[in-house]
Amino acid sequence: MNLDKVISGFFFILAMTINFGFFYGDIGNPELHSVYELFAALVVSLISTVLKIGDKTQLGAVLLATSLVADIQLIGAVTVWTVTEYLSIVDVEAFAAIISLSGGALLANITSVILYIGETLKSKR
């Protein structure tokens, strides 16, 4: 067992699950989406991005790309949240944008986890 693999696998999957946790729930209802979860999703996603750096194979490059997509979507969600809150224009449309951005990030995270699992299954050791 390789400790590096455990840690990176942990963060890849955690990024996906936390993202899902934030995304799950009625898209128009802010009470069902915790800001702490969004924060955690962003941090874990950033960590998993850094963990993916340095793998020069084709698959490593795709993994890194999906992770970068998730980061950008989550940063977008956070930015929208901050801007709307401080400009006091919290409405259903803005909130829906935040949730759908995190939904996009969730898709990227799912892709990345599928690729990761695929690679693990392929490996003969």
Partner 1 sequence: MNNNALWIILQKLRIPLLVIIVTYSVAILGMVLIPGMDDSGKVYHLSFFDAFYFVSYMASTIGFGESPYAFTYEQKLWVSVCIYITVIGWFYGLGALVSAVTDKTLKFEMMKSRFRKKVKALENDFVIVLGYTHVNVEIIKKLHMANMEVVLIDEDEEKINLFMLEELKRDVPVMVGNALLTETLQYAGILQNNCKGIIALFENEEHNFRIAILTKFLNSKVKVVAKSTYDDISKSILDTDIAKVINPFEVFSKRIDVALRSPYTLVLENWIYGNSDLSEKPLYLPDGKYVICGYGRFGKALQLKFNKYGIEHVFIDAKRLAHHTMIEDGSFVRANPDDKDILLDVGIKEAAALIVGTKNDIDNLSIVITAKKLNPNIYIIARENTMQEVSVFQAADIDWLFMIEQIYINKASMALVNPVKHSFLKLVLKQEESWVKSFINLLKNQVGINPLLERLDINEESAYALYQELQNGVDIEIEVLLCSLKNRKERNPALPLLLYRKGKKILLPNNVNLQIGDQILFACTRESLMEIELIASNIYELHYAKYGQEKENPILRKFFS
Report the alpha-carbon distance of residue 66 to residue 110 in Å, rounded: 9
> Which CB sits closer to partner 1, 46 or 107?
46
Contact assessment for residue 98 and residue 80, using Cβ atoms and an 8 Å cutoff: yes
Name the segment binding partner 1 (CB under 8 A); options: 24-32, 40-48, 88-96, 109-117: 40-48
Name the segment binding partner 1 (CB under 8 A); options: 47-55, 89-97, 101-109, 117-125: 47-55
Contact assessment for residue 33 and residue 25, using Cβ atoms and an 8 Å cutoff: yes
Q: Where are the alpha helices (DSSP H) in the chain?
A: 3-23, 35-52, 58-86, 92-122
Name which of 43, 61, 53, 58 is nearest 105 in CA terms.
43
Per rule CB under 8 A, is residue 51 in the interface with partner 1?
yes
Per rule CB under 8 A, is residue 82 in the interface with partner 1?
yes
Per rule CB under 8 A, is residue 92 in the interface with partner 1?
no
> Which CB sits closer to partner 1, 43 or 114?
43
Residues that bind partner 1 (CB under 8 A): 35-36, 39, 43, 46-47, 50-51, 53-54, 56, 61, 78, 82, 85-86
